[in-house]
């Protein structure tokens, strides 16, 4: 309950943390998973604010807060007044409250604020600037946890790191992030965070996608640098066979193309020929683990046989949301 | 937080429990009502997932969880991604997540999952098969409590049993479940559960309805068998006078006809002549108690005089939702 | 969890409390703000029922309940069946449950019920009678806290009183409540409560508005009487310069005109010429504090320069919602 401070700490992008700190959080997540007792923070409060739908993130943060003895304040975007994030705007339209008020008000009520805000419409460049999440971070006056913005999904990435450890996937193993077909163009937050996470873990990271579906240059550059720094590598390829050969983990995810951003008709036409980008057991071979952040469209992003087969670890990833976020909250509140 | 187990226990249909166990739960509910202290379950978590609206069920489960010291994880259907329940489907339509993922993920976060899912559109046969609730039960990996499905509403039935005890209505008394008019065709969950509950309690059960509004044969057969086993009887009649004569309790409820299921126009025409199926004080005579699960449409299902009169026990039924569910949670967690 | 009692106590209108009691609550709010420990009420439960959107009220009541160790039951209007409040109605339309059931049922589950219900459509006279809030108060059987109705917003007024104390604004200072332009006609709850609060505090209260935007005669009469009783004064004026001269606090708020109530087209035309009713730094001079209940439309109700300037205390008002409601709950539960 402090006053407004520009960019109070918290967690916006996993890559902003040192790898050793991430490893410490992942280790703690695995300790919590196997029975370690969480710390207790009597009298501290966590706010959860969802401006977009959520199943895993909402449920796992609620449980994490309860395990830590935190007081909980929950809000949903459709239960509050329409929020504005642009500076200097004359608010005579549909939005009724500016983040410049909403964020610091919530910051007066809680010690830590977690926000999901993908951002709705807007150019790719606007999404990349992540104005809603950055508004919360700038104006809340308390640390803000990004529960998925237009740009990053650090809690998913932390859980995925811990899941890779749980399954003893080595640091130098081959990690393939593959685009998959989906009826709608989706945000880049998960693939951005996944790519950087695997690179920072020091893996041999392969981004596999059809031409035109590469991630943003800035993300590729950051992943490249993280890989170099941590002893791994980054390869971008459209060649499925080459990419999948020898993979220890195949992480599927769909996302929209930068070129067709905001133009649903052109995007739909562009991806019409790409429906075979659906992960089947053949993609995995005998040993690659299958990963996805969920929710996943069955027989669209991956086949039933993949999801119901022994190589899928998607439920472990989801379970680690609870443990990773418990570890994160412990760390931020300690 | 175990792995997925087919059909983990929990409570789907009150009739699946032995009568002695139901009586023990009802006794405990009445003890809690009159001041007994609930048990405490530190570190255990209950998930509440509402895919349909709720006032009583949501409020009473929240309070029951708090009284028991449970950690609570709450989700609403309109706050999560659209759920799929059909097997083998290619999910390129509107649903974004399959129960095969959603259910076990929630099962990783909580020890016990309570779900309300009436199911939406669909044939009578599909409703009868209750695919959403059965999907949760099959895939959650933890015990699932049915908070009302397309087919059953066991928590209401348990509360009603305890309310009958509270008002000292004898086991062999006459219990009339009467259809009532309503502008919309409603699901069969409450009448199905009510009929079986009264039969299992050993009462002389009368199902009173206009021709064409009988409950499903399978439910009638189960109620018949429960009545026989527990020393009661089951009668189906369209004769209001005969049915109401000597009744100790009149339980009103509206539901849709099987014949017109899914055809709103034909259903509306069919029931247009049935508006006098509205319970008035004359239906009750001097001594019958009036029961209903709520919400109730005043002067449609029952008149103001009935609801505001001394023979109505609908608020006691509603209060017993809290006590009965507290008893049920104690039992499932012990 | 008592039976239905007509008009159980609670808080509907701050003016119903003696000024000394309000001062005691405001003092307690400031003590809590500066670190006093809240009382703990183990085993007691608070229900929060929002029939309209909320950010501050919902978040601050959730946190207040947690600080007091209260068990919490939360419902939203869009998660329950449509509620009816009119007596004697034949409910064959869109509403599915009457307050005569909904209110006492919730009263069986909690010790204290807090409700937000602005009321939707309806004549000015109907809004003034506040039928939904009065229905809850009449039928809940437990004390009801008004979290904003069509007529009053007592928790805001209590927080504002405590904020005036926090900023050492003297009792006999000049307090200006000014109408402001807004694209939509808004309810009168906040201005009604603000005017009466300042009058009861004994301030020199000025209601500043364009002609035709006066508050209701009954509210003016009550404020006049409160001012007289408590050593202050009430002036209604359309003269901005006169009103603002020497003001210690300028409280901006928009509201609809009684004359055009319910006629959006005529209201919009009426207020088209009033867009310069937007508070700028010039309104405040060197020393007046700027107040608003939030949410506020920037550059519509007040300019960025006002809200981001040093004379704005809107965030302190919002923070005091938490402390004032904590003090109120303590008082009602003790």
We report the CATH number of the domain holding residue A253 as 3.40.50.1370
**More reliable by pLDDT, B1 or A195:** A195
Residue A162 belongs to a domain: no
Q: Is C280 on the interface with A (CB under 8 A)?
A: no
- C203 and C283 both lie in a single domain: yes
Q: Which residues of C touch A71 (CB under 8 A)?
A: 63, 66-67
Q: Which chains touch C (3 or more CB pairs under 8 A)?
A: A, B
Q: Is the pLDDT of residue B313 over 80?
A: yes
Given A74, A78, A92, which is nearest C62 (Cβ)? A74
CB B311 within 8 A of CB B290: yes
Residue A163 belongs to a domain: no
Could you give the percent of chain B with pLDDT greater than 90? 94
Q: Is the pLDDT of residue C1 over 80?
A: no
Least confident of A231-235, B221-225, C120-124, C191-195: C120-124
The rounded distance, in Å, linking the Cα atoms of A29 and A27 is 5
Residue C161 belongs to a domain: no
Residue B162 belongs to a domain: no
- A200 and A144 both lie in a single domain: no
Nearest CA in chain A to B71: A66
Q: Is C109 on the interface with B (CB under 8 A)?
A: yes
Nearest CA in chain A to B94: A183
User: Within B68-169, where are the H helices?
Assistant: 99-109, 124-129, 131-139, 154-166
Mean pLDDT (chain C, rounded): 96
Q: Do A101 and C294 touch (CB under 8 A)?
A: yes
pLDDT of residue A6: 55
Q: Which of A41, A65, A72, A79 to mutate to test the interface with C (most CBs of C within 10 A)?
A: A79
Given C1, C80, C110, which is nearest B54 (Cβ)? C80
The rounded distance, in Å, linking the Cα atoms of B88 and B91 is 9
- CA distances (Å), origin B55, targets A136, B150, C116, C132, C151: 33, 18, 15, 17, 25
pLDDT of residue C122: 81
pLDDT of residue C90: 98
Q: Do A89 and C55 touch (CB under 8 A)?
A: no
Q: Is B298 on the interface with C (CB under 8 A)?
A: yes
Q: Is the pLDDT of residue C211 over 80?
A: yes
Q: Do C91 and B297 touch (CB under 8 A)?
A: yes
Q: Which of C38, C40, C52, C55 to mutate to test the interface with A (most CBs of A within 10 A)?
A: C55
> In sequence order, what DSSP letters do the residues of C234-265 get, joined into one string?
EEEES-HHHHHTT-SEEEEE----STTTT-HH
Residue C84 belongs to a domain: yes
Show the tokens assigned to A242. Answer: 């080459």
Q: Do B307 and C100 touch (CB under 8 A)?
A: yes
CB B131 within 8 A of CB B98: no
pLDDT of residue C2: 40
Nearest CA in chain A to B79: A53
Q: Is the pLDDT of residue B2 over 70?
A: no
Mean pLDDT (chain B, rounded): 96
- B99 and B179 both lie in a single domain: no
Q: Is the pLDDT of residue C35 over 80?
A: yes
Q: Which residues of A touch B108 (CB under 8 A)?
A: 315, 318-319, 322
pLDDT of residue A118: 86
Q: Is C186 on the interface with A (CB under 8 A)?
A: no
Q: Which of A105, A106, A141 to mutate to test the interface with C (most CBs of C within 10 A)?
A: A105
Torsions phi, psi of A298, nearest 5? Answer: -70, 140
Q: Is A279 on the interface with B (CB under 8 A)?
A: no
Q: Is the pLDDT of residue C156 over 60?
A: yes
Q: Which residues of A275-308 are buried (b: 16+ CB within 10 A; e: fewer)?
A: eebbbeeebbeeebbbbbbbbbbbbbbbbbebbe
Given A81, A89, A98, which is nearest C53 (Cβ)? A81
CB C194 within 8 A of CB C255: no
Residues C207-216 have a mean pLDDT of 98
Show the tokens assigned to A289. Answer: 């683990």
- C15 and C92 both lie in a single domain: yes
Residue C158 belongs to a domain: no
Q: Is A81 on the interface with C (CB under 8 A)?
A: yes
The torsion region of residue B119 among left (phi > 0), alpha (psi -120 to 50) and beta comes to: left
Q: Is C66 on the interface with A (CB under 8 A)?
A: yes
Per-residue confidence band for A7, with pLDDT thresholds at 50, 70 and 90? low
Indicate the DSSP class of residue C218: H
The rounded distance, in Å, linking the Cα atoms of A176 and A252 is 8
- A199 and A239 both lie in a single domain: yes
pLDDT of residue B270: 97
Nearest to C65 by CA among A90, B118, A289, B66: B66
Residues B102-107 have a mean pLDDT of 98
Q: Do B318 and C108 touch (CB under 8 A)?
A: yes
- CA distances (Å), origin B262, targets B119, B124, B256: 13, 8, 9
3-state secondary structure string across A44-79: CEEEEEECCCCCHHHHHHHHHHHHCCCEEEEEEHHH
Closest CA of chain C from A45, distance in Å: 8
Residue B18 belongs to a domain: yes
Closest CA of chain C from B314, distance in Å: 9
CB B321 within 8 A of CB B160: no
Q: Do A295 and B102 touch (CB under 8 A)?
A: yes
Digit-coded pLDDT (tens) for C5-21: 556 689 999 999 999 99
Q: Do B108 and A318 touch (CB under 8 A)?
A: yes
Digit-coded pLDDT (tens) for A184-238: 999 999 999 999 999 999 999 999 999 999 999 999 999 999 999 999 999 999 9
The torsion region of residue B148 among left (phi > 0), alpha (psi -120 to 50) and beta comes to: left
- CA distances (Å), origin C145, targets A104, C7, C11, C152, C325: 26, 12, 5, 11, 10
By CB neighbour count within 10 A (0-12 exposed, 13-18 middle, 19+ buried), where does A120 fall? Answer: exposed
Per-residue confidence band for B81, with pLDDT thresholds at 50, 70 and 90? confident
Residues C248-271 have a mean pLDDT of 96
Q: Which residues of A touch B102 (CB under 8 A)?
A: 55, 295
Nearest CA in chain C to A74: C59
The rounded distance, in Å, linking the Cα atoms of C89 and B304 is 9
**CA torsion angle C219 C224 C230 C233 (round to 10):** 130
Q: Which residues of C touch A77 (CB under 8 A)?
A: none
The rounded distance, in Å, linking the Cα atoms of A263 and A40 is 48
Sign of CA dihedral C149, C154, C155, C160: positive
Nearest CA in chain B to C48: B59
- C188 and C291 both lie in a single domain: yes
- A122 and A201 both lie in a single domain: no
Least confident of A2-6, A261-265, B65-69, C98-102: A2-6
Nearest CA in chain C to A141: C315
> In sequence order, what DSSP letters do the residues of C122-185 get, joined into one string?
--HHHHHH-HHHHHHHHHSSS-EEEEEESS--HHHHHHHHHHHHHTT--TTSEEEEEE---SS-
Residues C247-268 have a mean pLDDT of 96
CB B176 within 8 A of CB B198: no
The torsion region of residue A37 among left (phi > 0), alpha (psi -120 to 50) and beta comes to: beta
Look at the block and give the residue holding tokens 């508070």: C279
pLDDT of residue B122: 82
Q: Is B56 on the interface with C (CB under 8 A)?
A: yes
Sign of CA dihedral A294, A298, A300, A306: positive
Radius of gyration of chain B (CA): 20
Residue A149 pairs with which residues in a beta bridge? A117
User: Within C2-123, where are the H helices?
Assistant: 19-33, 56-67, 99-109
Q: Cis peptide before A295, with omega less than 30 degrees from 0?
A: yes
Given C79, C81, C84, which is nearest B50 (Cβ)? C79
CB B104 within 8 A of CB B140: yes
Counts for chain C of helices (H) and strands (E), in that order: 13, 12
Closest CA of chain C from B226, distance in Å: 31
Q: Is A93 on the interface with C (CB under 8 A)?
A: yes
- A15 and A144 both lie in a single domain: yes
Torsions phi, psi of C83, nearest 5? Answer: -100, 140
Distance spanning both ends of chain B, measured CA to CA: 16
Give the ipTM of the model, two decimals please.
0.96
Torsions phi, psi of B11, nearest 5? Answer: -150, 115
pTM for the full predicted model: 0.97
Strands (E), chain B: 10-11, 45-50, 71-76, 83-84, 97-98, 112-117, 144-149, 174-179, 204-208, 233-237, 249-253, 289-291
Residues B126-131 have a mean pLDDT of 91
- C120 and C174 both lie in a single domain: no
Nearest CA in chain B to A317: B105
Per-residue confidence band for A36, with pLDDT thresholds at 50, 70 and 90? very high
Closest CA of chain B from A231, distance in Å: 34
Q: Is A54 on the interface with B (CB under 8 A)?
A: yes
Q: Is the pLDDT of residue B1 over 80?
A: no
Nearest to A255 by CA among A151, A185, A183: A185
Residues in Cβ contact with A248 at an 8 Å cutoff, skipping those fewer than 6 apart: A169, A170, A173, A174, A175, A287, A288, A289
Q: Which residues of A touch B109 (CB under 8 A)?
A: 59-60, 63, 319, 322
**Angle, alpha carbons B106-B108-B114 (nearest 5°):** 40
- C293 and C272 both lie in a single domain: yes
Residues B87-100 have a mean pLDDT of 96
Q: Which residues of A touch C55 (CB under 8 A)?
A: 75, 80-81, 97, 102, 105-106
Could you give the percent of chain A with pLDDT greater than 70? 97
Q: Do A105 and C294 touch (CB under 8 A)?
A: yes
Task: Give the total number of structural domains in chain B.
Answer: 2
Per the structure, the complete domain to which residue C33 belongs is given by 10-153+321-333
Q: Do B71 and A76 touch (CB under 8 A)?
A: no
Mean pLDDT (chain A, rounded): 96
Strands C10-11 and C144-149: parallel
- C176 and C297 both lie in a single domain: yes
Q: Is the pLDDT of residue A332 over 80?
A: yes
Nearest CA in chain A to C61: A73
Q: Is the pLDDT of residue A4 over 60?
A: no
- B184 and B100 both lie in a single domain: no
pLDDT of residue C3: 45
Residue A109 belongs to a domain: yes
Nearest to C74 by CA among A62, B171, B74, A147: B74
């Amino acid at each position: 309950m402090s006053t407004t401070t520009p960019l109070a700490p918290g967690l916006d992008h996993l890559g902003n943390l040192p790898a050793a700190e991430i490893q410490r959080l992942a280790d703690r997540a695995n300790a919590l998973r196997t029975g370690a007792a969480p710390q207790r923070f009597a009298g501290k409060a966590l706010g959860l604010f969802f401006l977009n739908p959520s199943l895993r993130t909402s449920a796992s943060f609620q449980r994490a807060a309860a395990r830590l003895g935190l007081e909980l304040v929950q809000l949903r975007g459709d239960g509050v007044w329409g929020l504005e994030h642009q500076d200097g705007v004359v608010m005579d339209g549909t939005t009724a409250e500016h983040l410049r008020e909403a964020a610091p008000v919530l910051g007066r009520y809680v010690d830590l604020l977690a926000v999901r805000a993908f951002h709705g419409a807007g150019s790719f460049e606007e999404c990349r600037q992540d104005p809603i999440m950055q508004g919360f971070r700038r104006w809340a006056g308390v640390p803000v946890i990004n529960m998925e913005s237009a740009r990053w999904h650090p809690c998913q990435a932390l859980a995925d790191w811990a899941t890779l450890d749980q399954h003893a996937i080595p640091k130098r193993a081959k990690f393939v992030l593959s685009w998959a077909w989906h009826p709608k163009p989706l945000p880049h937050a998960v693939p951005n965070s996944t790519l950087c996470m695997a690179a920072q873990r020091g893996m041999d990271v392969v981004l596999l996608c059809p031409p035109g579906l590469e991630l943003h240059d800035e993300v590729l550059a950051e992943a490249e640098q993280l890989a170099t720094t941590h002893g791994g590598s980054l390869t971008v390829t459209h060649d499925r066979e080459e990419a999948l050969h020898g993979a220890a983990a195949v992480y599927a995810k769909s996302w929209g193309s930068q070129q067709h951003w905001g133009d649903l008709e052109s995007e739909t036409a562009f991806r019409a020929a790409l429906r075979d980008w659906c992960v089947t057991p053949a993609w995995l071979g005998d040993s690659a683990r299958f990963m996805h952040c969920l929710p996943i469209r069955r027989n669209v992003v991956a086949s039933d046989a993949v999801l119901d087969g022994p190589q899928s670890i998607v439920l472990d990833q989801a379970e680690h949301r609870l443990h990773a976020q418990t570890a994160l909250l412990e760390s931020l509140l300690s």
